Amino acid sequence: MDGKGGLAAGAPEDLVLDGTLERVFAADGLRFDAAHGHFVIAPMGERAVCLRDGDPQAPWLRRAAERAGFRIEADAPLRIESLGDLYVLTGPDGAHRHASVESLVAAMRRA
């Protein structure tokens, strides 16, 4: 698709260089970085969450938080961390455990 209902054809490099790939995949919270050849999460939202340093799942939790519109800040009132196969969201109303990143993100949005 070319972003206008048509079909774009060509070498991937041509589609990147002429801006087609960026137009086709433009979405809220996501953009194509033509300089580096990958998709990136757009600038973060107004809300912040703290992510524990050294957590082995931190890169994935960071991506999920950013995708949900959160900035990562060390002193944010909401904190997320993983405990093995559980994710914990701690905020003003206490700590709540979640069995999936999807559930964690939904709770972050409600907090």
pLDDT in tens for each of the 111 residues of the chain? 555 677 888 898 898 888 888 887 776 667 777 877 887 776 667 789 999 878 889 888 988 998 888 988 999 999 999 998 899 999 999 999 999 999 999 999 999
- Angstrom distance (rounded) from CA 12 to CA 71: 32
Q: What DSSP assignment string belongs to 34-79?
A: TTTTEEEEPSP-SEEEEE-TT-TTHHHHHHHHHHTTEEE-TT-S-E
- Taking alpha carbons only, the member of 74, 84, 73, 80 closest to residue 106 is 80
